[in-house]
Amino acid sequence: MYLYAYPYPCYSFRRALKPTLAVVLTLAIVLLVYSRDAWYLSSGDREIARMRLSMAEPSTHLWRPEDAARHGESRPFNATIIALVRNEELDGMVYSMRQLERSWNSKFNYPWTFFNDVPFTEEFKRRTQAETKAECRYELVPPEHWDVPDWIDPNVLQQSIDKMNAKWVKHASQISYHQMCRWYSGFFYKHPALKDMKYYWRVEPNVKFFCDINYDVFRFMADHNKTYGFTINIYDDPNTLPSLWPETMAFLEQHPEYLSPDNSLDWLTDATGRPDVTARAHGYSTCHFWSNFEIGDLDFWRSPAYEAYFAHLDRAKGFFYERWGDAPVHSVALGLFAENRNIHWFRDIGYQHSVFSNCPDTPNCHGCRPNKLAPLTLWLNKEDCRVNWFRQVCASRRKNGDMNDEDGLCGECFGWLYTVYGMEYDIVIKESSIYRIYFGQAKFAVSHLTHVYLSMKTLNYY
């Protein structure tokens, strides 16, 4: 009996184990699905989904193509699309032109202005002009705006490049890349071809535009007093700019009068996302607007504050002895000297450069993965700076008592309402010191904003 009885407990154990394994496997699958946010989505992707943030075009009056036709104006503003491009990048430039013409410029016919440090070939001119009905202009960058300054020591430059290469700094050895960053930082807006221009839209070769844009973005900038518009907001490599923030602080010590009351200093110094990066950049978060897409007011770069700032940076020689990019230089300047309310996230414009994208989940966007910063390179999710920007926007609105801005950014500030009430707000109206939040037929009044900010703090907005 003993010999034959032994297997039965094992059989019973195996039979009992089967449902246990099934439960464990099911739980593992559920956990995997629910934890996908941790690796598949970036912090900004998750926040946009959590708040059900609208990625639609601005909910304000917009200048449509038919408005231009009705008023007999095809170009209501002195504005242009610009590109610094080499002759050998012709195919990539044609690709980008075709994308932007299809999605936007064929409706408004703004001119294209191309810049190069050498003359454009006839083939470049012929093929680019064939892509648009608008005027194309081909400009030469003056040598004094492009050449390596004579006060840059060649020996020190080579030593600096060797040090950067040892740290795997991208483009460290490409002198032309250093020149490009310096030109976009402090000289492009001085070119005679832009002398009479107010706004510009920068475009690079080999970029993608995914959405039909059915309004005049330059008119939007002017109507709403916007200084700068961006789509992508990410961290930078601190090895490219170790002295940028110390030099910036030295400049502010000399010129505190240039600091805007409505600045974005918190965004520039926010160490909550990547404290290691902020430490290596000596206090700068490295968050920046990716400047391969930027729509801007040229008068900001022409301002005394920015001109003095660029002159200070240029004398510090970081464009060559380090690899300061025009994106962090522009972003730091905007964060310090511009009003936060005048910096606009073009969330509705679908755009991709290299591995990063801005893809709205709207019907007029096609060919991209909605609300995914890095669709093909999940390890780059950590580079997302949008949550930092949301915090800065909310802090700015709180400081100014302006929770009803026309571009809809107050949605970030009231995102907590979705969590609390399980529905989105429709309208936020400021009546004296009372903020009324409307949910269809329901109405909530907040007479003291302390309660609002305490609720947001609970959700890590501050």
- In tens, the pLDDT along 368-396 reads 999 999 988 888 999 999 999 999 998 89
pLDDT at 160 over 90: yes
Residue 437 sits in the same domain as residue 294? no
Q: Which of 47, 89, 294, 322 is catalytic?
A: 294
The whole-angstrom separation of Cα 3 and Cα 238 is: 71
State how many domains the chain has. 3
The whole model's pTM is what?
Answer: 0.82
Residue 93 sits in the same domain as residue 173? yes
Residue 365 sits in the same domain as residue 234? yes
In a domain, 30, yes or no: yes
Residue 438 sits in the same domain as residue 346? no
Stated as kind and residue range, the H or E segment containing 446 is strand 442-446
Taking residue 72's Cβ as centre, other Cβ atoms within 10 Å add up to: 6
Residue 251 sits in the same domain as residue 337? yes
The whole-angstrom separation of Cα 305 and Cα 320 is: 23
pLDDT at 181 over 60: yes
Residue with tokens 């909910």: 59
- Average pLDDT of span 348-360: 96
Longest CA span, the chain: 104
- Rg of the chain over CA atoms, in angstroms? 26
The whole-angstrom separation of Cα 383 and Cα 234 is: 5
pLDDT at 404 over 70: no
* Spatial contact of 216 and 68, defined as CB atoms under 8 Å apart: yes
Residue 430 sits in the same domain as residue 339? no
3-12, 207-216, 342-351: least confidently modelled range: 3-12
- What residues have CB less than 8 Å from 192, skipping those under 6 apart? none
The whole-angstrom separation of Cα 227 and Cα 289 is: 13
Q: Give the distance from CA 178 to its chain's centroid.
A: 21
At 269, list the tokens. Answer: 């110094």
- Average pLDDT of span 71-96: 89
The whole-angstrom separation of Cα 197 and Cα 200 is: 8
DSSP assignment letter at 152:
S
Active-site annotation holds for 294: yes
Confidence band, pLDDT 50/70/90 cuts, at residue 333: very high
Per the model's pLDDT, the better-predicted residue between 93 and 22 turns out to be 93
pLDDT at 22 over 70: no
Residue 28 sits in the same domain as residue 162? no
Residue 381 sits in the same domain as residue 446? no
Q: How many residues make up the chain in this entry? A: 462
- Average pLDDT of span 5-28: 58
Out of 386, 403, 438, pick the residue that ends a domain.
Answer: 386
In a domain, 402, yes or no: no
Mean pLDDT of the chain: 85
Per the model's pLDDT, the better-predicted residue between 48 and 197 turns out to be 197
Residue 428 sits in the same domain as residue 291? no
Out of 369, 386, 403, pick the residue that ends a domain.
Answer: 386
CATH number for the domain that contains residue 305: 3.90.550.10
In a domain, 47, yes or no: no
Residue 30 sits in the same domain as residue 136? no
- In tens, the pLDDT along 58-71 reads 988 999 999 877 76
CA separation, residue 115 to residues 77, 197, 227, 378, 450 (Å): 21, 15, 23, 35, 51
* Spatial contact of 399 and 341, defined as CB atoms under 8 Å apart: no
- CA proximity to 84, closest of 113, 105, 125, 126: 113
Sign of torsion over alpha carbons 218, 220, 224, 227: negative
Per-residue confidence (pLDDT) for residue 298, from 0 to 100: 99
Residue 323 sits in the same domain as residue 222? yes
- CA proximity to 409, closest of 432, 437, 433, 428: 428
The whole-angstrom separation of Cα 437 and Cα 425 is: 6
CA separation, residue 294 to residues 45, 64, 230, 356, 451 (Å): 21, 21, 5, 15, 37
In a domain, 392, yes or no: no
Residue 149 sits in the same domain as residue 248? yes
The whole-angstrom separation of Cα 224 and Cα 46 is: 29
In a domain, 189, yes or no: yes
In a domain, 305, yes or no: yes
pLDDT at 231 over 80: yes
The whole-angstrom separation of Cα 118 and Cα 85 is: 10
The range of the structural domain enclosing residue 220 comes to 65-386
Per-residue confidence (pLDDT) for residue 30, from 0 to 100: 52
In a domain, 309, yes or no: yes
10-14, 109-113, 206-210, 421-425: least confidently modelled range: 421-425
